[in-house]
Structure 1
């Protein structure tokens, strides 16, 4: 969704999920402007701190229930932008927990 790119800023951590599975990766938004290669697309560059699974690779994911357990928050997962928002410390902690979870689930 093109309009949601305006909700994230350089330095923010963004999480990537796979439908019905959970969180699969995380990245930090890079400095730089919003890029719009066409009228339907806008994005910001991201440096992955937890890599996206490669095509053909088994998908490892942290279940959405575990995310709620770690953050103490409940999210409406069908939305692109999740509310309540996480603080910087909460996002950093979730990224750390995600990395650990994915490493031990291999």
Structure 2
């Protein structure tokens, strides 16, 4: 995240092709929840054979690991706010959100992160 990128490695790098310029993506931390949201702005880049990335503009504060504490909206709250159930273990989460649902979730995430 420090480089404002959506980045993937190894077998997961193919998922970088599943998002496109203008898409809203959400970053999560395992067992914690959503930690950030961003809008994809760049085409796919390959700095090496094992890595693909796209540049993004963050729509939420960029998380920091200050004191090893990361603020996160719990996955249960994400499901409650969207009315959808996601399989969190996958890199690409389904069901997909519409653009308006994604923008609403960005607002909810920003509000949540401001309170914590």
Provide the TM-score with structure 1 as the length reference.
Answer: 0.93
- 1:99 maps to 2:110: yes
Take 1:52 and 1:22, find their aligned partners in 2: how far apart are those partners?
Answer: 15
Take 1:101 and 1:51, find their aligned partners in 2: how far apart are those partners?
Answer: 11
Alpha-carbon displacement from aligned partner over 1:20-44 (angstroms, at most 9, x marks no partner): 11001111000x3200011111111
5 Å-filtered alignment, 1:3-42, equals 3-30=14-41, 32-42=42-52
Segments of 4+ moved more than 3 angstroms: none
Out of 29, 40, 56, the residue aligned to residue 46 of structure 1 is 56
- 1:53, distance to aligned residue in structure 2 (A): 1.6
Structure 1 residue aligned with 2:6: none
- 1:2 maps to 2:2: no
Deviates more, 1:77-86 or 1:47-56: 47-56
- 1:83 maps to 2:61: no
Aligned residues: 104
Take 2:49 and 2:78, find their aligned partners in 1: how far apart are those partners?
Answer: 34
Take 1:2 and 1:73, find their aligned partners in 2: how far apart are those partners?
Answer: 26
- 1:73 maps to 2:84: yes
Alpha-carbon displacement from aligned partner over 1:51-101 (angstroms, at most 9, x marks no partner): 232132421110000000011100000000000011101100000000001
Deviates more, 1:12-21 or 1:49-58: 49-58
- Where structure 1 has 5 or more consecutive residues not aligned to the other structure, the ranges are none
Provide the TM-score with structure 2 as the length reference.
Answer: 0.85
